[in-house]
A and B are shown apart, each in its own frame.
Chain A
Amino acid sequence: MELIWDIVISALLVIGGFFGFVGSLGLVKLPDPMTRLHAPTKAATLGVGSILIASMIWFAVKQDHLSLHELMVTVFIFLTAPVTAHFISKANIFRDWPAEKLPRPAGEGEWAVHQADADTSKGELAVEKETEAAQQD
């Protein structure tokens, strides 16, 4: 029984290490920013996930107490990884993709990333326009 758990923990550790390595290798090797974004956000989460599961099983088997700290870390990383990926891709669109190169959004206006540019293109700050609108109300 001990041997089975040893094999499971070792396999999870090897899988986790491999995926962490591949994620960061992709960060260096892949050709353009959006594909570079894809590599670490997926692979690092999977790698850290299996390392944390391995740690949870290790503490349950070897030290006979179930620790739920790892579950907390896993949940936190799984919740925050999409948010950071979304923020970084949005910043990337803002810097590298002008509004003409993007497909048109449905309805009026621009995409949200370029909306601030559209607001300030009349030579005044969007904040000043907002305060003027508030004063008129």
Chain B
Amino acid sequence: MITYALIFAIACYSAALLFNLFRVVKAPGVTDRVLALDTMAINAIAMIVLFGIYEGTALFFEASILYAMTGFVATVAFAKFILRGDIIE
């Protein structure tokens, strides 16, 4: 039962990542691109955790923590650059 639920969740997040990729490539405004990249990082974290359950190993959590941190910093840097034209003033 868990296997089927896992496959369902992985399929959902794969479709979600494809939607995000579509939004990154074809967006009406630059803030939509930044938002799509941020959502992509969060969905990638979910994918890493799901893959960890699928493989039955706790090896991938450090990767997901690193992804969460770098995704946050990247989004803040993008938004700061749009706001001020500079990241560290």
Contacts and interface: CB of A to CB of B under 8 A. Distances in A.
Given A16-B9, A28-B22, A88 B43 contact: no
B12 A18 contact: yes
B32 A17 contact: no
Interface string B59-78: 00110110011001001100
Given A20-B13, A84-B75, A88-B79, A13 B42 contact: no
A25 to B, nearest CB: 6
Contacts of B31: 33, 37, 88, 91-92, 95-96
B72 A80 contact: yes
Interface string B34-58: 1110110011011001101100101
Interface string A15-47: 011101101110110000100110010001101
Interface of B: 1-2, 4-6, 8-13, 15-17, 19-20, 22-23, 28-32, 34-36, 38-39, 42-43, 45-46, 49-50, 52-53, 56, 58, 61-62, 64-65, 68-69, 72, 75-76, 79-80, 82-84
30 contacts: A6-B2, A13-B2, A14-B8, A17-B9, A21-B13, A27-B39, A28-B19, A33-B29, A33-B31, A33-B32, A36-B35, A40-B35, A40-B39, A40-B42, A44-B39, A47-B46, A55-B53, A69-B61, A73-B49, A76-B69, A77-B42, A83-B72, A83-B76, A84-B38, A84-B76, A87-B80, A88-B31, A90-B79, A90-B83, A91-B79
